[in-house]
Structure 1
Amino acid sequence: MIGIIGGTLVLESGVFKHAEQRIILTRYGKVIVNQGNGFVFIQRHQYNRPPHMINHRGNIHIMKELGVRTVISLCSTGSLKKAIKPGDIVIPDDFMQLSGIPTFFDHELKFTTPAISEKARNMIIATARKANVKVRDGGTYVQTRGPRLETKAEIRFFSKFADIVGMTLASEATLAKEAGLEYASICSVDNYGNGLAGDVDSKKIEDAKKKNALKAERILKVLVK
């Protein structure tokens, strides 16, 4: 069973049009689940939650409860490097999260070494090849706390250590590892980071998201068929 976490654009794309939608109450709150033959899809911003209010624990918890073993996420990102351009698709192999790190282990002493699954990454890359979608193999994702975008100084700092920036992947990857699930991500580059190529234009970001969603849709169609 494959679990997919994405945004509204993917949910509306038609890939999951035959999925059965239901609301499941978990110990972490309600989660809207779209389940089909061999897959579970969760729209991470359900109930219009901003990035810092996403129910990551509920999303990952219900994935495991429903029998998911591999989680593939779709993430919108900003580029920290001129060489990584808007429109690119990156399959990162590592991540950074310097604060706000979530955990399932609030009441027990357990330690986890966070990582992105190489097995899941290779599956995405092979699927993208079949779907004729060019992707960048590898890169480091740094997670910041939304909903605000990053300052120019923050982008300059992060660019020394990472390649793309977003607000969700690291939290999901950490919880997936704690839950014993394989996790990797399809990251669409929708803009340059603040100050890297002028000011950030929110309309241009939304337009780029729509274009990149079509590439992600092609990968997903092969993945869940």
Structure 2
Amino acid sequence: MRETRGAAFHSADLGIIGGSGIYAFDGLEDVEEIELRTPYGDPSGPLVLGTTGGRRAAFVPRHGRGHFIPPSGIPSRANIYALKSLGVREVISVSAVGSLRGDFAPGDMVVPDQIVDRTRGMRPGSFFGDGMVAHVSLADPYCVRLRPQLEAAADVVHPTVHDAGTYCCIEGPQFSTRAESELYRSWGMDVIGMTALPEAKLAREAELCYVALALVTDYDCWHPGHDSVDAHSVAEVMAANVSAAQRVLAEFAAATEPASCSCHRALDGAIMTDRQIIARASGAPVPTLLRDRVAPVT
């Protein structure tokens, strides 16, 4: 991996991935910007490092500055790899979502606890493969240790925060049809978006804690009393909530400290491939930053 200013001098323990409308993180102190290249290509953009709430954070805009990367084109492996390479152990994902229930209103915040995958397999969703197989647990896709802490930070800042919800992740970039929206509601989905996956899967494989702050912007297209969602309305609501989201992140950083977690041991027992096969494999198909966790038998 190449970094334009020398990676040894840069580190962070908190990672922040900004979604639609959040292309920068105001309020950071001691700011520096770095460019990283990973084995999985370039991240969505330069990473911005700074201090907030006494913690060193690394920020990356998921869709790139100016929003030029579509959901299916987000380099999630590069983003997660870059954050881990900086020493990040905890990641907060911020994203816009539509509501699939009447009591999750536009302007509300949600700290989801579950995800349902409705993408189409077009997005690389694993660091493993091509000679090495790993099956990590994703029963609880969001870190059960960090979720209550993020919800508590949001409660300090925002009047309406929902402490759980199932995120339905669709492929996009189009919004849902009315039939799809009603189908997801009948399944008990709570919010809908396009970016939670494969981020959550990759963060687990990289042994990072991963939580989400979802900002409700609309009622998708199911609600008879509201207009169907469009990009303009999403952008308007997000613009009104960017400041609140950034205050939540600052509050979270000030109220928490890095701590050990079961997420940091997600690969324990997950590697199925015989270590002798790994040892003989040409090119050692082991993600570089995980090599110490899956060292082959020699």
Q: TM-score band, normalised by the shorter chain? A: over 0.9
Comparing 166-175 with 122-131, greater Cα deviation is found at 122-131
- 8 and 124 in structure 1: CA distance in 2 versus 1, 3 angstrom threshold: same
Give secondary structure in 1 for the equivalent of 2:186. coil
Partner of 2:148: 122
Cα distance, 1:17–1:9 mapped onto 2, change above 3 Å: farther
Q: 179-188 vs 120-129, which deviates more?
A: 120-129
Q: CA separation of 1:158/1:132 partners in 2, compared to 1, >3 Å: closer, same or farther?
A: closer
User: Does 2:125 align with 1:113?
Assistant: no
| 8 A contact 1:192–1:200 mirrored in 2 | yes
**Counterpart in 1 of 2:87?**
67
Query: Which has the larger strand fraction?
Result: 1
**CA contact 1:7–1:45 (8 Å) conserved in 2:** yes
Aligned counterparts of 2:19 and 2:230: Cα–Cα separation in 1: 20
Identity %: 32
1:170 aligns to 2:197 (yes or no): yes
State which drifts further: 196-205 or 134-143.
196-205
Structure having the higher helix fraction is: 1
Superposition pairs for residues 8-27 of structure 1, below 5 Å? 9-12=21-24, 14-16=26-28, 18-27=30-39
- Structure 1 residue ranges without an equivalent (≥5): none
For the residue of structure 2 that corresponds to 1:170, the secondary structure is coil
Q: Can you list the C-alpha shifts for 1:45-81, whole angstroms capped at 9, x where unaligned?
A: 1262111100000001111111111100101000111
**8 A Cα contact 2:80 2:203, kept in partner:** yes
Which residue identity lines up with residue 147 of structure 2 in the other structure? R
Report the TM-score when normalising by structure 2. 0.71
Alignment partner, residue 63 of structure 2? 45
What is the rounded CA distance, in whole Å, between the counterparts of 2:78 and 2:168 in structure 1?
22
Structure 2 unmatched runs, 5+: 1-12, 255-298
Compute the RMSD of aligned alpha carbons: 1.8
Structure with greater Cα Rg: 2
Matches within 5 A, 1:1-225: 1-7=13-19, 9-12=21-24, 14-16=26-28, 18-31=30-43, 32-37=46-51, 38-46=56-64, 48-98=68-118, 99-100=120-121, 102-107=125-130, 108-114=132-138, 115-161=141-187, 162-196=189-223, 197-224=226-253
Q: Does structure 1 conserve the Cα–Cα contact (< 8 Å) formed by 2:71 and 2:195?
A: yes
Corresponding residue for residue 283 of structure 2: none
Q: For 2:198 and 2:159, how far apart are their aligned partners in 1?
A: 26
- Rounded to whole Å, the distance in 2 between the matches of 1:199 and 1:128 is 28
Contact 2:200 2:210 in 1 (8 A): yes
- Structure 1 residues 180, 130: CA separation in 2 closer, same or farther (over 3 Å shift)? same
Instruction: For 1:35, give the aligned amino acid.
Output: L
Q: Distance in 1 between matches of 2:42 and 2:181?
A: 35
TM-score by length of 1: 0.92
Q: Counterpart of 2:235 in structure 1: which amino acid?
A: E
User: Equivalent residue of 2:238, what SS?
Assistant: helix
Preserved contact between residue 133 and residue 219 of structure 1 (Cα < 8 Å): no
Post-superposition shift, 1:140? 0.2
**Residues in 2 aligned to 1:8 and 1:78: alpha-carbon distance in whole angstroms:** 12
What amino acid is aligned across from residue 103 of structure 1 in structure 2? Answer: S
